[in-house]
C-alpha cells in the first residue's frame, strides 16, 4: 500500500500547499502537469534509472559498520552509502531527475540555490551534462565558507551569483532564486535542492530521493531477512531523510528518527532545529515548521554544517511529526564534530558534517538507553538493527573541523 499524501494541491495534513506570487502559479501548474505525466512514463523512468546507475553510481551499498556497532553497543548499524555517489552526496539523485524534466519541458536554463555548495555542484554537474545554461545563487557568507565548491561550479561552466541580502546564507539564496524564476520562467527551470518550496516540489523531490529508501528496504530484506527497527538521518530541508523514510511509511514497526542541528545549543537561539523548536509558518512558498519570532519574521539559523543551516524544513516532515510517524531530535555542533571524528577513526569513512549529526545522535542514544525518562526516539534498544543515511562525504569539511 502507498501512502496517498500529499493531496493533489500538495497538502500534507495542514502543511505544504502553495504560498507564491500569482505569476508563479502557471509555472507550478505546468511543472506539476509535466512531472505527474512523466512519473507514469516508462521510458522516462528507464532513462533516469540509466543515469542514476551509470553516471551517478547507484545502487549505493548498504554497509554493515561492525566497528561502530560494537563501539556503540548496538546490534547492527548499517550505513546507506550516499557518500559514494558522483559529486559526493545524495543531491545528484534529485538534480538528475529534475534536469531530465527540464529538458523534456524544453527549458534552456536551470537555476538553483545552494548553501554548502553541494546542491549547486550537483546542479552545475547535470547542467554540464545536458548542455544547459546554469546560474547558482549562493550567499556571500557561504561563498567564503565553501570556496572549493565555488571553484567546482565555475569549472563545470556555471555562474555563481553572490547573494548579499539578509544573512547572506541559504535562506537568502533561495529567496533570490525564486525571484529570478518569477522573471525568467518561460525558458528557465528552478531546481530546488530539497523537499521544501511550493507544490509540486516537496512531493517531486521526495519521489526522486525515495530511491534511497527503496534500495535500502530491499537490501536489508536480503541481508537480514527482516525490516530494520530504526531509520536515522540528518534533517536540513529534509530530502535525504525523507528519501530514506518514505518507502517505509506503512511499515509501522520501523521507527524513524530525524536529526536536526542544535548548533550552539537549543537555548542559545543559535541553531537550525525547525522541527524540534520551531512553529508552523510560511517560508519559501509552503507552510511548515520554521524558526520565526512572534511577528512571523524568519530568524537566523546556525549550524556548523552549512547544509543544515536553514530556518525551515520540508512540509512532509512537519506532517510526520504531527502524526507521530517520525521522531525529531537535535544534536549540537560539538556533538556532530565528535561524530565526525568517531566515524573517521573507527570505520575509515569521513562523513559530511551534516551526516555526522546522525552518527552523533546514535552515540547519544546508546548512552541514554537505560534512562526511561527519555522519549521513544531518544533511546535505542541494544538489540536493534539500524539503517543510517550517510548523506555525503566529508572532504569539504576538513577545514571546519580542525
Q: Report the catalytic residues.
A: 91, 113, 391
235 binds ligand PLP (CB under 6 A): yes
Near ligand PLP in 342-371, by CB under 6 A: 352, 354-355
Residue number, nearest CB to ligand PLP: 392
236 binds ligand PLP (CB under 6 A): yes
Nearer to ligand PLP, 116 or 388 (CB): 116
C-beta of 20: minimal distance to ligand PLP in Å? 20
Alpha carbons within 13 angstroms on the beta-carbon side of residue 173 total 33
Residue 156 CB partners (closer than 8 Å, separation 6+): 121, 124, 125, 127, 128, 134
C-beta of 243: minimal distance to ligand PLP in Å? 8
Give the position of cell 529534475. Answer: 98
Residue 335 CB partners (closer than 8 Å, separation 6+): 262, 357, 360, 363, 364
Near ligand PLP in 16-55, by CB under 6 A: none
Near ligand PLP in 116-175, by CB under 6 A: 116, 118-119
Cell numbers at 115, concatenated? 548553501
Whether the Cβ atoms of residue 388 and residue 80 lie closer than 8 Å to each other: yes
303 binds ligand PLP (CB under 6 A): no
Whether the Cβ atoms of residue 362 and residue 74 lie closer than 8 Å to each other: yes
Cell numbers at 147, concatenated? 570556496
User: What's the burial of 79, exposed, middle or buried (CB within 10 Å: 0-12/13-18/19+)?
Assistant: buried
Rounded Cα gap, residues 56 and 92, in angstroms: 7
Site map 187..226 versus ligand PLP, x via CB under 6 A: -------x--------------------------------
272 binds ligand PLP (CB under 6 A): no
SS3 content of the chain, % helix, strand, coil (to 5): 50, 20, 30
C-beta of 181: minimal distance to ligand PLP in Å? 19
Near ligand PLP in 87-116, by CB under 6 A: 89, 91, 116
315 binds ligand PLP (CB under 6 A): no
Give contact residues for ligand PLP (rule: CB under 6 A).
89, 91, 116, 118-119, 194, 234-241, 307-308, 352, 354-355, 391-392
Amino acid at each position: 500500500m502507498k501512502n496517498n499524501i500529499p493531496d493533489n494541491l500538495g497538502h500534507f495534513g495542514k502543511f505544504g500547499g502553495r504560498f507564491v506570487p500569482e505569476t508563479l502559479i502557471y509555472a507550478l501548474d505546468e511543472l506539476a502537469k509535466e512531472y505527474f505525466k512523466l512519473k507514469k512514463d516508462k521510458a522516462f523512468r528507464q532513462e533516469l534509472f540509466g543515469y542514476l546507475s551509470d553516471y551517478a553510481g547507484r545502487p549505493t551499498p548498504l554497509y554493515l559498520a561492525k566497528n561502530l556497532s560494537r563501539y556503540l553497543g548496538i546490534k547492527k548499524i548499517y550505513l546507506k552509502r550516499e557518500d559514494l555517489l558522483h559529486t559526493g552526496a545524495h543531491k545528484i539523485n534529485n538534480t538528475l531527475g529534475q534536469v531530465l524534466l527540464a529538458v523534456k519541458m524544453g527549458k534552456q536554463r536551470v537555476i538553483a540555490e545552494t548553501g554548502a555548495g553541494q546542491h549547486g555542484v550537483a546542479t552545475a554537474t547535470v547542467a554540464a551534462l545536458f548542455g544547459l545554461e546554469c546560474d547558482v545563487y549562493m550567499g556571500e557568507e557561504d561563498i567564503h565558507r565553501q570556496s572549493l565548491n565555488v571553484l567546482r561550479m565555475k569549472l563545470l561552466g556555471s555562474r555563481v551569483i553572490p547573494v548579499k541580502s539578509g544573512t547572506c546564507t541559504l535562506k537568502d539564496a533561495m529567496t533570490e532564486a525564486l525571484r529570478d524564476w518569477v522573471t525568467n520562467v518561460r525558458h528557465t527551470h528552478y531546481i530546488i535542492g530539497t523537499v521544501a518550496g511550493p507544490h509540486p516540489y516537496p512531493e517531486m523531490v521526495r519521489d526522486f530521493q525515495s530511491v534511497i529508501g527503496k534500495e535500502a528496504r530491499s537490501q536489508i530484506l536480503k541481508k537480514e531477512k527482516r525490516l530494520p527497527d530504526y531509520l536515522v538521518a540528518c534533517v536540513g530541508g529534509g530530502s535525504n531523510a525523507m528519501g530514506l523514510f518514505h518507502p517505509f511509511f506503512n511499515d509501522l514497526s520501523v521507527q524513524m528518527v530525524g536529526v536536526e542541528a542544535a548548533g550552539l545549543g537549543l537555548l542559545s537561539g543559535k541553531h537550525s532545529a525547525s522541527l524540534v523548536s520551531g512553529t508552523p509558518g510560511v517560508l519559501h512558498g509552503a507552510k511548515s515548521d520554521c524558526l520565526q519570532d512572534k511577528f512571523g519574521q524568519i530568524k537566523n539559523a546556525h549550524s556548523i554544517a552549512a547544509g543544515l543551516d536553514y530556518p525551515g524544513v520540508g512540509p512532509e516532515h512537519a506532517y510526520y511529526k504531527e502524526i507521530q510517524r517520525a521522531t525529531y531530535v537535535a544534536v549540537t555542533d560539538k556533538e556532530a564534530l565528535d561524530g565526525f571524528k568517531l566515524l573517521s577513526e573507527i570505520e575509515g569513512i569521513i562523513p559530511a558534517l551534516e551526516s555526522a549529526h546522525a552518527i552523533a545522535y546514535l552515540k547519544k542514544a546508546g548512552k541514554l538507553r537505560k534512562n526511561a525518562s527519555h522519549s521513544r526516539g531518544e533511546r535505542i534498544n541494544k538489540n536493534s538493527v539500524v539503517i543510517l543515511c550517510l548523506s555525503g562525504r566529508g572532504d569539504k569539511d576538513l577545514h571546519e573541523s580542525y
